[in-house]
Amino acid sequence: MENTKHTESIEKLLATGAEAMERKDYDVAVSCYEQAADIGSSDALARLGDVYNEGFARRRDTDKAFAYYKQAADAGNADGMYGLGNFYSCGYGVDADGEKAVEWFEKAAAYGNSNAMIRLGNTYCGYEYDGDDERDEVADDSQEEKTGKKRVTIGNTYIYRDTNIQKAAEWYKKAIDAGNPKGAHALARIYDRVAFDSEEDRKTALQYYTKAANRGDIKAMQSLSRLYEDMETPDKNKSAFWLMKAAESGDRSAMYQVGDEYSYGKWPYGKNMTKAVEWYEKAADGGYKNAMKKLGGIYYHGYPEDGVPQDYAKAAFYYEKAARRGVTSAKIKMGDLCRLGRGTEQSDKSAADWYIRAARDGETDGIIRLANFYGQYAEELKCRIGEKRLAEYTELAKHLDIDNDLFLALKELGIAE
């Protein structure tokens, strides 16, 4: 009876802590997890590791996080073991060590952690992939020659391991059986890109991508859209369905792509500029800078026949958002708008500033426009972009025709002779 009450207390504290995390009441969550840990919950120890690792409630503290993960792991907790594997793979609070990371992932997998299963599968594929991002290898040829094995990135470090697609597939299937949709995505990717190249393998990839997508994996939805488009007999309706589903699930790149499909009319739903703008705006609102640039262009030119009137103010709004997020071509456009006084106050100084910013990024049009319109800012240009960039422009101009626009601009600005 006492043990039952003890277990119920732990479960209640963990549930209350999880609810507090959901509403971002981190102090309450930490208090609940600490109480549960004090009465023997290894799950609570692992969750405290997560709290301190992610920096919830207070500053990130990798030392505390590592200590909690270690306590949880020592108590046989799979999430604690996985946390230690992550720390060793990334070098958080400890020296990065790929072999130790794999050792802890193997322990975590043996205790049922499905994320560890996926990480182990990745090591046999020769790349680090978690369903969201992939990082290609920079091989160390000398070590590969010595070991006869491929260098495989794992977090911020690496191990040497033979590529073994069969073992990778086995780990991914275990993750699927454990209920992790990323396992299906990872397995689909083997058939899609890594090891095979036949129509039958693409069908197998479709099968596993569909499993992942039906469990909410947005990247799998996008992969399904691409595969249905690329098959020997394309299925444009299914391709459009999965792309739209990814966009409706909140993926910004999918929103942008839906905007493109409506803009160019390349898919079954036909051309619709009004809907294209709606989807571009959703992507832009989510911080997708290419959508900001696209909207700038749409509003600058206008498509009144398609229900989108010209609007210089909106063009300036979106171009400036894109420019301030580092889109160089948008900086040129902002310079043009400031120079012409379209959608924003006419200002030679602001126009020159945007052109110089673009030139500093390596955009030759920034140099050419400055020379054409604002030669008086030549000294400011030289000061702001530095000698190295100026030398690069001069060297580039030398390899072009003597009368090319860049050479003439540099000459006009007193940079080239």
> Residue 8 — very low, low, confident or very high, per pLDDT cuts 50/70/90?
confident
Q: Average of pLDDT values for 331-340?
A: 97
Tokens of 251: 């993926």
What CATH class is the domain 1-74?
Answer: mainly alpha
- For 303, which DSSP code? B
Does residue 129 surpass a pLDDT of 70? no
| Residues contacting 381, CB < 8 A, separation 6+ | 356, 359, 367, 370, 413
Lowest mean pLDDT among 14-23, 105-114, 196-205, 220-229: 196-205
Alpha-carbon torsion (68, 69, 73, 79), positive or negative = positive
Which pLDDT value is given to residue 334?
97
Picking from 177-191, 239-253, 328-342, 351-365, which range would have the lowest pLDDT averaged per residue? 177-191
pLDDT score of 140: 46
pLDDT at 400: 72
Of 233, 203, 207, the C-alpha closest to 220 is 207
- Residues 193-211: what's their mean pLDDT? 80
Give the whole-angstrom CA distance, residue 382 versus residue 265. Answer: 46
Count the alpha carbons within 13 Å of 179 in the hemisphere toward its beta carbon: 2
For residues 205 and 189, the answer to whether their CB atoms sit within 8 Å is: yes
**Average pLDDT, integer, range 366-373:** 92
The answer to whether the beta carbons of residues 311 and 330 sit under 8 Å apart is no
Structure token pair of residue 257: 């792509």
| Domain map (residue ranges) of the chain | 1-74
* 373, amino acid identity: F
Mean pLDDT of the chain: 89
Closest CA to 246 of 266, 226, 221: 221
SS3 (DSSP) at 128: strand
Q: Read off the pLDDT band of 125 (50, 70, 90).
A: confident
Which region among 68-72, 344-348, 409-413 has the lowest average model confidence (pLDDT)? Answer: 409-413
